[in-house]
Chain A
Amino acid sequence: MKRLKPVNVLIVGGGWTGLAMAKEITGRTSLSVLVLERGAPRKTSDYAAGMDELDYAIRVRMMQNIADETITHRHSMRDPSVPVRQYGSFLPGSGVGGAGEHWNGNSFRFLESQFILATRLREKFGAAHLPENIAVQDWGVTYNDLEPYYWRAEQMMGVSGKAGNIRGQKIEGGNIFEGPRSSEYPLPPLKTSYVGMRFKEAAEKLGYHPHPVPAANASEAYRNPDGIVRAGCAYCGYCERFGCMIGAKAQPTNTLLPVLARRKTFAMRTGCWVRRVVHKNGRATGVQYVDANGEDIFQPADEVVLATFTLNNVRLLALSKIGKQYDPSAAQGTLGKNLTHQVGGAGTRLFFDHPLNLFMGSGAMGMMFADFDGDNGLTGSEGIVRAGHIAVSSSGNRPIASFGQYPNGAAKSNWGSQWKAASIEWRDRISGVGFTGEHLAYRQNFMDLDPVYTDKLGDPLLRFTLDWTEHEHRQRVFAAGIQLQVAKAMGVKFEEPHLAPVKYNVVQYQTTHIQGGAIMGTSPENSVVNTNLQHWDVPNLWVVGASAFPQNASLNPTVTALAITYRAADAFIAPHEKHYKGPNEAS
């Protein structure tokens, strides 16, 4: 194995969290930073020619090639695991920028109660009234601890939205249920679509508090504190699964990378597939990887940061034999525990008598209300302890994926003349009210290494043991009741959703929000990393991103993943900052 020259800091993964760490460290210390990314380089100018639904949204060419590595899944420990052979209920990104390139731009902060969930549930419902096998934990940090870091992330991205709570002052038109913000959003909200407007009117009539979805799709031209300038959103409808061709959607390559590219202490190598964190006597000494030419490399480093997607953070720890694997039957170990996804609702479809021009839109364009998010509005009689938010979205409708929708019964077959006519008739007249719910952590949902299936190099795949429980079913049923209320108030035709309990499905897309497995906490007994995201057993190993979330919040994770990473960066930097001699930038 070839041994390279040591670096101070080695970061695995060139997405949001890896590049955010790199930018903070290179900007405030003299340390040399190397990022290893296993995908390809990317830049904004690649993306105009990428407005192709087939290659990008159907064949998902920005994602990790599932032929090289996938996960396996089983519904319970009694079942055999099988590989996820094609995407997928979630879509892990690859290449510089990672999933931060192909995201929609939904830029939420979590609710205050979501950081102290175990305490909150005990206080509100009592330990005896919680769902069976619940394993939720407090984060060890509070919303107020994270507020400055949320603000740093929102300014970096230029998040567009309407505050509902500034320093305790509730503001109509924003999310009045959110924790106090120090400032208004960096940019005003995106424009409102026709469907969004109808939803807003209906929700207001019902006494709810609709507000625009906060968006990293800049509503107007924006200059961030690093001096990076981006254009305002063009509402072209090509966000999710695409890179933004004009750079209006905040992506690592159009926010962090341009700053890093000027720094002499920063380097990045692409095509590098990290296989192990090498460690000795409780210290990480570097990583072992296979480079783009297939050569085995040992890269020594003083500090190692794992900043890959949730899956690979957990898998690399397991492959490197760092920490003790969680075992639910023995109630031992911490690595792999508290795997959560996000609860997708059974959407209520709305049928309009006029066209909606749904091909226009922006990834995070939508209206929502949080009157039932967290435990808002819950009395305890609903049979659930947490719900989620209700929303309509106008992300842009593309023709392959959206063809074939019509009211139930309008066609007898799913092919042929009648099907074609119904699909054409209804093609631009259907929208929906959706629900995104908080997925609680349970003892039986976890990750470990699969005993049978391997990746392209022969390393064991990560295995999910995961299924929905009665609680998620009840969340969907509860939400459907609210959705119907909204649909009626909108005054359009609608369909009651199908509400049978479902099993976790690995092939139907849900969201790319997988959390847990290397969770943060206040003690090595209950967590893998401390609240600075430092590994309890290997203190010069930092594991950042949503793998540290003790459980899902109903809201999408990106900005929170960045907020805890910025907080980790401050802790990382503190001992080095006093030696910093000023910027070392190329002129």
Chain B
Amino acid sequence: MKRREFLTVPATALGGTLLYTLAREPLRLQAQSGNLDIPLRFFSAAEARVIDAACARIFPADATGPGAHEAGVVIYIDRQLAGPYGRDKYRYTKGPFVESVPEHGYQGKESPREIYRAGLQLLVGFADLTPEQQDDKLRSIESTTFFHMLRSHTIEGMFCDPMHGGNAGMIGWQLIGFPGPQMSYRDEIDKHFGTAYRPKPVSLQQVVGHPVRGWEDE
């Protein structure tokens, strides 16, 4: 069995940031201290460091607020790849595999896990490059299936429910003023015309009152 690998991140990086909602209301997330060791399910620690760095260039922390690193996007991706999605349990994978027109989408044989393993070969040493060099590197692979996937997964990891490992502290939802899954807007839907209505975000677990497992954990 493979030795268990961990991603070590300062706890403050995961959701310790002051940020503003779209309504420009300041929100401070609970700051934590020390380091967190997060067990990895698919990536090695070195691979996770590369993916984390790449996601942080796709969705950077900058003047508009925190980004993929702070939201824990790499943890989200690691769990997706370890689960049935990463193994292509929800894609038609019978052959023959043939190239076709763009309107037929991805027709390849490789699963998301295989695409990442091959894609990581394109990013050797990536984590140690300067941000400018990293952007140049990503631009050079922009047209690959791997990059398309990485970009989609970065957005998913920013804005998914925190139960999936991304959007730590609902940092992504706060960034864009999304309140999470709320049970009712019946009294709000025909108010606030032209003005921002930004209830405090809640996670699915908070809404239903018990832990919910993502599909990747079933």
State whether these chains interact. yes
Query: Are A420 and B193 touching (Cβ within 8 A)?
Result: no
Question: Do A236 and B183 contact each other (CB < 8 Å), given the known contacts A59-B85, A360-B188, A416-B58?
Answer: yes
Query: Are A417 and B197 touching (Cβ within 8 A)?
Result: no
A-B contact pairs, 29 of them (CB 8 A): A52-B160, A53-B160, A55-B214, A65-B89, A66-B90, A66-B92, A82-B100, A82-B104, A84-B105, A86-B91, A86-B106, A192-B190, A193-B190, A355-B23, A355-B197, A357-B188, A399-B178, A400-B159, A400-B160, A414-B151, A415-B154, A420-B60, A420-B67, A421-B62, A427-B22, A452-B96, A506-B105, A507-B103, A507-B104
Q: Check if B118 is an interface residue, CB within 8 A of chain A.
A: no
Q: Which residue of B lies closest to A505 (CB)?
A: B103
Which A residues lie within 8 Å of B197 (CB)? 355, 357, 360
Query: Are A416 and B57 touching (Cβ within 8 A)?
Result: yes
Which stretch (A133-141, A227-235, A568-576) binds chain B? A227-235
Candidates B96, B175, B194, B204; contact of A424 at CB < 8 Å: B175
Q: Check if A504 is an interface residue, CB within 8 A of chain B.
A: yes
Cα A357 to Cα B105 with chains together (Å): 33
Query: Are B196 and A357 touching (Cβ within 8 A)?
Result: yes
Which B residues lie within 8 Å of A399 (CB)? 159, 172-173, 176, 178
Query: Are B215 and A454 touching (Cβ within 8 A)?
Result: no
Which B residues lie within 8 Å of A403 (CB)? 155, 158-159, 176
Question: Do A67 and B93 contact each other (CB < 8 Å), given the known contacts A59-B215, A236-B184?
Answer: yes
- Chain A CB within 10 A, most for which of B93, B163, B172, B181: B181
Chain B at the A interface: mostly helix, strand, loop or mixed? loop
Query: Are B190 and A503 touching (Cβ within 8 A)?
Result: no
Chain A at the B interface: mostly helix, strand, loop or mixed? loop
Taking residues whose C-beta sits less than 8 angstroms from the other chain, chain A's interface range is 35 or more
Residues from 97 to 111 in B contacting A, C-beta threshold 8 Å: 98, 100-101, 103-107
Smallest Cβ distance from A186 to chain B, in angstroms? 19
Cα A503 to Cα B138 with chains together (Å): 30
Cα A70 to Cα B189 with chains together (Å): 39
Query: Are A235 and B96 touching (Cβ within 8 A)?
Result: no
Q: Check if A208 is an interface residue, CB within 8 A of chain B.
A: no
Candidates B60, B172, B208; contact of A417 at CB < 8 Å: B60
Q: Check if B156 is an interface residue, CB within 8 A of chain A.
A: yes
Candidates A86, A194, A504, A507; contact of B92 at CB < 8 Å: A86
Which A residues lie within 8 Å of B65 (CB)? 424
Question: Do A503 and B103 contact each other (CB < 8 Å), given the known contacts A49-B212, A235-B184, A354-B195?
Answer: yes
- Nearest first, the 6 A-B pairs at minimum CB distance are A507-B105, A51-B181, A234-B184, A399-B159, A360-B185, A355-B196
Which B residues lie within 8 Å of A49 (CB)? 204, 208, 212
Cα A234 to Cα B184 with chains together (Å): 5
Candidates B90, B159, B190; contact of A65 at CB < 8 Å: B90
Question: Do A51 and B207 contact each other (CB < 8 Å), given the known contacts A193-B189, A245-B183, A421-B64?
Answer: yes
Question: Do A424 and B64 contact each other (CB < 8 Å), given the known contacts A52-B161, A191-B189?
Answer: yes
Question: Do A420 and B182 contact each other (CB < 8 Å), given the known contacts A49-B212, A192-B190?
Answer: no
Smallest Cβ distance from A410 to chain B, in angstroms? 13
